[in-house]
């Protein structure tokens, strides 16, 4: 198990290194001079040159890469070209919205998907199964921003249970903040839960057809016991894979939902930064997202090994 973990950690570091190079190079080749954008069309050439100097754009690309990476390692993400504030602070504030939102959505998605998937698989062909399959089909098909607007209409404007958008901050009280994130989290979770429930169902049906489930039944286990004790854990491998992919998506893919609900999260930050050519912010946020995704994959890998003893040894 230790070997396996070390091996995963090594591959994690390599992924991060490769990702940092790719991000840096990509942003380097994007046309557009940030100094030019910041100063506007009427700027004098020598003012632009001075600003370039100030932003550290005059040194070689390699030197800039080294400065960027070493800065990140010490928590210094540079200064935003547009707002002239430290990028680390900007990301820090928004992180506390995007990360809880992603976790909240993931929690909801799992809480909906697991029971629904298990129910559908254990009663295959029944009304419950048909209902789950139909609902999830709809859940996958409905665009989440449309669903978000529908929820705003129903729960914020008509019923007035929730506010239509905005975020009061965590200082205003934990439950208040959670309440503000609830509608966005549901909108994000709906398609994810639909996909996850379908994966859970089909993975479980596959394992229920395995020989070892029949062996368990021959030992005297009821259908239900065989499902919970033998099939479920074996069905977790594909489910964990999907959960890992979904978390990455929830973290990085919330741009539209954050816009619908006026949440000052990472998604909106990236969106704004790209339109303002605030490349240093874009670079940093993207790198951070990559970091999050890699960490999630690492956790999923560890979870695989906990579920499946064959992986523990194969290291």
Partner 1 sequence: MSLLQIDQLSLAIHGTPILRDISFDLDAGQIVGVIGESGSGKSMTAYSVMQLLPEGSRTEGAISLNGDNLLSLSEEQMCSLRGDELGMVFQEPMTALNPVKSIGDQVAETVRIHRQASRAESLRIARETLDRVELPADRFPLSRYPHELSGGQRQRVVIAMAIALRPKVLIADEPTTALDVTTQAQILKLLRRLVREDNMALMMITHDLAVVSDLADDIVIMKSGEVVETGAAKTLFQSMTHPYTKALFEASSHVPDRALDSDAEAAPLLQISHVSRDYVLPRTSLLASPPKFRAVNDVSFTIQRGESLGLVGESGCGKSTLTRAILGLEEVQEGEILIEGEPVFSGHEVQRSVRRKMQVVFQDPYGSFNPRHRVARLVSEPFHLLDTQPGSAERAEAVADALESVGLEGSDGRKYIHEFSGGQRQRIAIARALIIKPKLIVLDEAVSALDVSIRAQILDLLADLSDRFGLTYLFISHDLSVVRSITDRVLVMKAGQIVEEGQTDAVFDNPQHVYTKSLIEAAPRLPDLPTELTAKLATQNEVSI
Pick from 102, 216, 280, 300: which binds partner 1 (CB under 8 A)? Answer: 216
User: Least separation, in Å, of the C-beta of 120 and partner 1?
Assistant: 16
Q: Does 206 contact partner 1 by CB under 8 A?
A: no
User: Least separation, in Å, of the C-beta of 126 and partner 1?
Assistant: 12
Distance CA 34, CA 51 (A): 9
Distance CA 302, CA 296 (A): 10
User: Least separation, in Å, of the C-beta of 206 and partner 1?
Assistant: 12
Looking at the DSSP bridge assignments, the partners of residue 86 are 79
Buried b (16+ CB within 10 A) or exposed e, 81-105: bbeeeebbebbeebbbbbebbbebb
Q: Which of residues 233-262 bind partner 1 (CB under 8 A)?
A: 233-234
User: Least separation, in Å, of the C-beta of 216 and partner 1?
Assistant: 7
Distance CA 291, CA 135 (A): 34
The pair of structure tokens assigned to 261 is: 């609900």
Q: Does 310 contact partner 1 by CB under 8 A?
A: yes
For partner 1, the closer of residues 186 and 226 by Cβ is: 226
For partner 1, the closer of residues 120 and 263 by Cβ is: 120
DSSP secondary structure string for all residues of 190-259: HHHHHHHHHHHHHHHHHHHTSHHHHHHHHTT--HHHHIIIIIHHHHHHHHHHHHHHHHHHHHHS-HHHHH
For partner 1, the closer of residues 29 and 218 by Cβ is: 218
User: Least separation, in Å, of the C-beta of 78 and partner 1?
Assistant: 36
Q: Under DSSP, is residue 79 helix (H, G, I), strand (E, B) or coil?
A: strand
Pick from 140, 221, 245, 295: which binds partner 1 (CB under 8 A)? Answer: 221
Pick from 94, 198, 230, 268: which binds partner 1 (CB under 8 A)? Answer: 230
User: Least separation, in Å, of the C-beta of 308 and partner 1?
Assistant: 6
153 to 192: interface string for partner 1, x by CB under 8 A:
----------------------------------------
Q: Does 212 contact partner 1 by CB under 8 A?
A: yes
Q: Does 277 contact partner 1 by CB under 8 A?
A: no
Q: Does 2 contact partner 1 by CB under 8 A?
A: no
Q: Alpha helices of the chain — where are they, by DSSP H?
A: 2-29, 34-39, 45-55, 61-73, 87-122, 127-141, 144-151, 174-208, 211-218, 223-226, 232-252, 255-260, 266-275, 279-307, 309-314
How many Cα neighbours within 13 Å face the side chain of 298?
18
Q: Does 309 contact partner 1 by CB under 8 A?
A: yes
Q: What angle do CA 145, 151, 156 make, to 5 degrees?
A: 125
Stretch near partner 1 under the rule CB under 8 A, chosen from 68-76, 229-237, 242-250, 283-291: 229-237
Q: Does 123 contact partner 1 by CB under 8 A?
A: no
How many Cα neighbours within 13 Å face the side chain of 197?
30
Pick from 159, 171, 218, 275: which binds partner 1 (CB under 8 A)? Answer: 218
Q: Does 215 contact partner 1 by CB under 8 A?
A: yes
User: Least separation, in Å, of the C-beta of 291 and partner 1?
Assistant: 26
Pick from 19, 36, 210, 245: which binds partner 1 (CB under 8 A)? Answer: 210
Q: Write out the residues near partner 1 by the rule CB under 8 A.
A: 210-212, 214-222, 225, 229-230, 233-234, 307-310, 313-314
């Amino acid at each position: 198990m230790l070997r396996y973990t070390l091996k995963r950690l090594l591959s994690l570091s390599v992924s991060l290194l490769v990702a940092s190079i790719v991000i840096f190079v990509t942003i380097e080749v994007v046309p557009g001079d940030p100094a030019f954008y910041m100063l506007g069309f009427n700027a004098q050439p020598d003012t632009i040159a001075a600003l370039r100097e100030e932003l550290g754009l005059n040194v070689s690309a390699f030197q800039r890469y080294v400065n960027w990476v070493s800065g990140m390692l010490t928590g210094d993400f540079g200064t935003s070209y547009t707002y002239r504030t430290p990028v680390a602070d900007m990301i820090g504030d928004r992180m506390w919205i995007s990360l809880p939102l992603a976790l909240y959505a993931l929690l909801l998605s799992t809480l909906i998907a697991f029971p629904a998937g298990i129910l559908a698989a254990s009663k295959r062909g029944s009304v419950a199964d048909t209902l789950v399959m139909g609902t999830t089909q709809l859940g996958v098909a409905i665009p989440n921003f449309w669903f978000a607007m529908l929820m705003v209409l129903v729960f914020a404007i008509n019923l007035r249970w929730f506010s239509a958008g905005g975020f009061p901050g965590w200082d205003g009280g934990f439950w208040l903040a959670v309440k503000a994130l609830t509608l966005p989290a549901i909108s994000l979770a709906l398609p994810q839960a639909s996909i996850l429930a379908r994966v859970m169902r089909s993975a479980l049906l596959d394992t229920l057809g395995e020989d070892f489930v029949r062996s368990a039944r021959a030992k005297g286990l009821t259908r239900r016991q065989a499902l919970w004790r033998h099939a479920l854990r074996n069905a977790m491998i594909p489910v964990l894979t999907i959960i890992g992919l979904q978390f990455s998506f929830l973290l990085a893919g919330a741009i539209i939902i954050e816009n619908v609900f006026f949440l000052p999260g990472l998604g909106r930050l990236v969106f704004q930064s790209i339109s303002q050519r605030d490349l240093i912010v874009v670079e940093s946020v993207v790198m951070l997202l990559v970091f999050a995704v890699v960490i999630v994959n690492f956790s999923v890998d560890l979870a695989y090994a906990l579920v499946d003893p064959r992986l523990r040894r194969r290291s």
